[in-house]
Amino acid sequence: MEFPALVYELIDLRSFSNLWYWLTLALTWSRASHWILGVPWDMVQRARRNGGDAERDFRDMLRVNLNRIDYIFGTAGHALVAIVSALLTMLAVLGFGYGIEFGQAVFLIAFPLAIVGALSVRMAGRIRRDGSEGTALHRRLARHRMTVQAIGLVSIFVTGCWGMLMNLNLAVL
């Protein structure tokens, strides 16, 4: 067997019929809903329940991540938006315009993640601007997590429906 054929067998670009794609999709949304603004959700819960050192650790980690988000978006925000927009457009055109399944698959993961990223930058700015603390901060992060989970749920549903449609079309052809 030649090398290109071997690589193609190992990395099957028919994403919607590949188990690895679905595992990646599930892992992506699991991680996205666990790490809220760079802070693990269990740390938020522990801080809410126990207070004290757990709350101080949570606030320190959140402060560090808010500063990182603010710095990155403040220095490279416009370039980042342009690059992400260009990549998403390229994936959409390749995937849905030219019918390349791999482009569709990556777009169906990346587009909702881009929305989550924009909402996270917005939430980070709100927290820094309003100076939320204590219960109000925990409630705000819980609402943001619920939003991320809702986007993930819709994303998985749409991706599942599109993947079934693609697999049914392949079976018919």
Give the DSSP letter of residue 11: S
Query: What is the model's pLDDT at position 18?
Result: 82
Q: Which residues of 36-53 are buried (b: 16+ CB within 10 A; e: fewer)?
A: bbebeeebbebbbeeeee
The residue ranges of DSSP E strands in the chain, in sequence order, are 35-36, 39-40
Whether residue 5 is predicted with pLDDT greater than 90 in this model: the reply is: no
* pLDDT tens-digit readout, 9-57: 666 656 788 888 999 999 999 999 999 999 999 999 999 999 889 999 9
Query: What is the model's pLDDT at position 110?
Result: 98
Query: What is the model's pLDDT at position 1?
Result: 63
* Mean pLDDT computed over 80-104: 95
Query: What is the model's pLDDT at position 13?
Result: 59
Mean pLDDT of the chain: 91
* pLDDT tens-digit readout, 126-144: 999 988 788 899 999 999 9
Whether residue 172 is predicted with pLDDT greater than 60 in this model: the reply is: no
Q: Give the span between the Cα atoms of 68 and 133, in whole angstroms.
A: 19
* Torsion sign over Cα 13, 16, 18, 23: positive
* pLDDT tens-digit readout, 52-78: 899 999 999 999 999 999 999 999 999
- Find out whether 41 and 145 touch, Cβ atoms under 8 Å: yes
What pTM, to 2 d.p., does this model score? 0.86
